[in-house]
Amino acid sequence: MHIDWFVFLAQIFNFLLLMYLLKRFLYGRILKAMDDREAKIVARFAEAEELKVKANEAAELYEKRNQMLNDKKEVMLNEATMAADAKRKELMDKVREEVDAVKARWQDMLVREHDAFFYDLRQRAAKQLYATARKALADLADVELEERIVDEFIRRVKALDEEKSIQIRKAISGGGNKIVIQSAFGISEPRQAQIEEALKKQITNGFTIRYMQQPDIVSGIELRVNGHKVAWSLNEYLETLVESLTETLQKEAHAA
């Protein structure tokens, strides 16, 4: 086998040249690119790892803050609940007080209405009784009721005991010798003379009488002098009637 030494050396040179060229154009560049990429990937992994650590730290911080917020929320909620309970209690007390006040006012009003009703009833009953009695007296005895009332008044004046008479006499002299006789109706002059005579005979002389017509005195007549009084009216009877009537009505209301 023949070996041409020129070709042999040329092939060695060719190989070394190829080695140099490939080192320059292939291996160097490729290896550099691969190493650079590897370094980049490593750096990226390191960065990712660092970011992961940071993310974990941030997550822990967030978790901690979240926990704190939750705790705070719990405390605030408890405080708010307690405040709301206290406020509710306060409002309930206030409402209860108001209700009690309204109830008291209502009961007061009810009592007033009750009183007004019975007052009115008494007035009406008195008037009705007065009218009925007058009509009955007029029908039965053919005597004016006023006449009977005046008669009764005169009888009462005459029937005054000594002690009462002295008291009235003192009162007349202390009050400027003036007597006021009030009546629900007008009194005729003969009847006024009878009254005056009875008074003079029973009590004293030297006084002046002033007659006043007062509708409030239900079907009655009364003498008033400086804190003392001689009177007759249907009020006495009517008050008895009203008491009886009130008692009856209350019993009915309780039964209902």
Partner 1 sequence: MEIVSLNQISPDQVIIWSWNFIVLNATILYTWLVMAILVVGSWFITRNLSSATNVSRWQHFLEVIISIIRGEISEMTKKGADKYIPLVGTLFLFICVSNVLVVVPGFVAPTSSMTTTAALATCVFIAVPFYGISRNGLFHYVREYFQPNFIFFPFHVMGELSRTLALTVRLFGNIMSHEKVVGILLAVTPFLFPVVMQILGLLIGVIQAYIFAILSMVYIASALSAEDEVHHTETKKEGVSA
Nearest-approach distance from CB 51 to partner 1, in angstroms: 18
Nearest-approach distance from CB 22 to partner 1, in angstroms: 5
Residue 16 touching partner 1 (CB under 8 A): yes
Nearest-approach distance from CB 25 to partner 1, in angstroms: 4
Decide whether 27 or 119 has the Cβ nearer to partner 1: 27
**x-marked contacts with partner 1 along 207-236 as a string, rule CB under 8 A:** ------------------------------
Nearest-approach distance from CB 36 to partner 1, in angstroms: 4
Decide whether 11 or 208 has the Cβ nearer to partner 1: 11
**x-marked contacts with partner 1 along 18-47 as a string, rule CB under 8 A:** xxxxxx-xxx-xxxxxx-xx--xx------
Decide whether 34 or 116 has the Cβ nearer to partner 1: 34
Decide whether 26 or 116 has the Cβ nearer to partner 1: 26
Residue pointed to by tokens 């009332």: 149
Q: In what order do the strands lie in the sheet with 208-213?
A: 208-213, 178-183, 221-225, 228-232
Nearest-approach distance from CB 31 to partner 1, in angstroms: 6
List binders of partner 1 among 154-213 (CB under 8 A).
Answer: none
Give me the DSSP letters along the chain. Answer: ----HHHHHHHHHHHHHHHHHHIIIIIHHHHHHHHHHHHHHHHHHHHHHHHHHHHHHHHHHHHHHHHHHHHHHHHHHHHHHHHHHHHHHHHHHHHHHHHHHHHHHHHHHHHHHHHHHHHHHHHHHHHHHHHHHHHHHHHHH---HHHHHHHHHHHHHHT--HHHHHHHHHHHHHTTSEEEEEESS---HHHHHHHHHHHHHHT-SS-EEEEEE-TTSTT-EEEEETTEEEEE-THHHHHHHHHHHHHHHHHHHHH-
List binders of partner 1 among 75-94 (CB under 8 A).
Answer: none
Contact at 8 Å (CB) between 246 and 121? no
Decide whether 36 or 74 has the Cβ nearer to partner 1: 36
Nearest-approach distance from CB 19 to partner 1, in angstroms: 4
Residues that bind partner 1 (CB under 8 A): 1-4, 6-12, 14-23, 25-27, 29-34, 36-37, 40-41
